[in-house]
Structure 1
């Protein structure tokens, strides 16, 4: 395999499937399909990260049976080559809010069973200052401090938009107070950190495969469950089934205080989603050329802000028309 030739072919390909942090291009090495994964230019870090993705994929290989296999990791330039997994992305099978087939729901349960069993010894060291094993409150502070940093680094126009939309200067204060009351010690586990419909493929040969391990963390296992539930938009019955499956496969000590922990982290995710999507949806609204598209996006952003409002001490949430006007006044 000529990795550099495949990389150059991928760079020249205009039909890449782009995520937030990477461009993903299918290439052929003889008769073998592969995926070249290239960091996107200048993507703003909107998520907490810990390890390089190739290191994670190497570490989990003996434990997580349904994850992409790393074929090559380039350093200069930085890129990865993964095995290409044939199948359908789960969001193509059923959009947000629609019921999912048994194969997907069973696969999610199996995925959590395997991830929760990955030993710390298989993974890389965590940096100095990372919360110690079981320090769930410390882990929550880490998550919230990162979210606070997203708010603090806003440029002048984004800061003005935050203020116009009722986002407080400190969106994390109330959640930090809740952390002490609602979190109990739980042993840390490997967290994927980004399991949702677009990151899952249903493969005829391998079942459910979870992609994109770039946001993997070492922390409170209930956080991974909350992040997944928040991003996947299950129906009520599918959500109940996923919760029951997680409870079946999670070790007893990982389930300690799980209901209150889950409610807390779901609040964290709603808060962070509003912070991040004020920027992302704001740009989409500003770029939209059709009035109806702008209004739909503004209504979606308003729903995110309303959900977050229960977790911060901010101003009133504007109506969709006011959000649209604020974006066009401040970001265009």
Structure 2
């Protein structure tokens, strides 16, 4: 794409705005190319309100299953049901999301730090609203296959399909490029057999809507300290406890605040969706173990692709990445049945060798 040829997303933004100089972007983001702008004359929207349009980036790896055909269609269907969703408007044939002026929760309170009580209460309120969206009341076109839609309450079937996605779409589909690297790190194909055995036997819980990606960068805090929830592209219908497990794993709350949130979550979900927290004392740990195991496969591939130019050639080792991956592997050793975890320097050396053998990351996966 040359500077003289704007991308599709930018062309849409300019057409909707009418002023190329008022278009901001592309914003940082992995899955989409996103632009922010005020709407042009005649839109009927306040001049202070900005909107965003985005298009999927080509040639990307997806590490999580997508369930709904369109994020904008889902958000439109949830209007009035989930209060923290930014508004959706149609203009010039485009569905645009309102851009929330504020800062991400991660920018305000980095990973590992507690979040203020008023914001935590809003997180609990979001879980209340999610639990109230039952599968039969959500009429939105889905893209996932029938086998990825277990019957309501079949939490074991739900989790098994997520394990299968990680095995088939993340591990096996990329094995030609990453087999040697995974082998050096002690991760082999029988890891999935171990994982399935480890997480089996979940209690049944009635399904509801899940955001499935509630981390600090997907919460925006505006000037009035209102919490907004963005990036619903990984939303799905399934086990409500999975959403809590994913949230706890990604947020990295201090232990005391994680316990507090969990207590509030249990009482809130039971109030809205009786049985929604059934067996949580045992199953929450198992679902978090799945998230730890899933991270091994996504983080190893991402780390390998993120190595800078020349790191395979001059033998400089990505020491920080080696330490991070060792933590990830250590956390997942039990669920995956790993017999040993390499030291950080060995992990760094393995990454450098992979890079030397595969050249630039762009030569392996475009985009």
Scaled by the length of structure 1, the TM-score of the pair is 0.90
- CA distance in structure 1 between the partners assigned to 2:163 and 2:207 by the alignment: 17
Partner of 2:282: 260
Partner of 2:336: 312
Partner of 1:230: 249
**Does 1:278 find its partner at 2:294?**
no
CA contact (8 A) 1:22 1:39 kept: yes
CA contact (8 A) 2:86 2:100 kept: yes
Q: Which deviations, in whole Å up to 9, do the C-alpha atoms of 1:15-60 show, x marking residues without a partner? A: 4222221123221225231122221222211101100211210121
**Does 1:95 find its partner at 2:83?**
no
Unaligned stretches of 5+ in structure 2?
1-11, 41-46, 357-367
Distance 1:84-1:304 versus aligned 2 partners, 3 A rule: same
- CA distance in structure 1 between the partners assigned to 2:287 and 2:253 by the alignment: 17
Partner of 2:363: none
Partner of 1:144: 163
Aligned 1:50-65 pairs, distance under 5 A: 50-51=67-68, 52-65=70-83
Distance 1:81-1:210 versus aligned 2 partners, 3 A rule: same
Partner of 1:48: 65
**Does 1:329 find its partner at 2:346?**
no
Partner of 2:362: none
- CA distance in structure 1 between the partners assigned to 2:164 and 2:92 by the alignment: 32
Q: Which deviations, in whole Å up to 9, do the C-alpha atoms of 1:86-141 show, x marking residues without a partner? A: 12210011111112112221111111011111132133265422101011110011
Q: Which has the larger radius of gyration?
A: 2
CA contact (8 A) 2:289 2:335 kept: yes
CA contact (8 A) 1:168 1:315 kept: no
Distance 1:173-1:254 versus aligned 2 partners, 3 A rule: same
- CA shift, 1:147, in A, is 1.0
Partner of 1:24: 34
Q: Which deviations, in whole Å up to 9, do the C-alpha atoms of 1:257-293 show, x marking residues without a partner? A: 0122211110110000111000111223455869998
**Does 1:167 find its partner at 2:187?**
yes
- CA shift, 1:213, in A, is 0.3
- CA distance in structure 2 between the partners assigned to 1:177 and 1:45 by the alignment: 25
- CA shift, 1:308, in A, is 1.2
Scaled by the length of structure 2, the TM-score of the pair is 0.82
- CA distance in structure 1 between the partners assigned to 2:294 and 2:119 by the alignment: 27
- CA shift, 1:216, in A, is 0.4
CA contact (8 A) 1:171 1:271 kept: no
The match for 1:70 among 88, 97, 100 is: 88
**Does 1:123 find its partner at 2:145?**
no
4+ residue stretches of structure 1 with deviation over 4 A? 7-10, 286-293
CA contact (8 A) 1:148 1:171 kept: no
- CA shift, 1:8, in A, is 9.6
Distance 1:209-1:278 versus aligned 2 partners, 3 A rule: same
- CA distance in structure 2 between the partners assigned to 1:325 and 1:73 by the alignment: 52
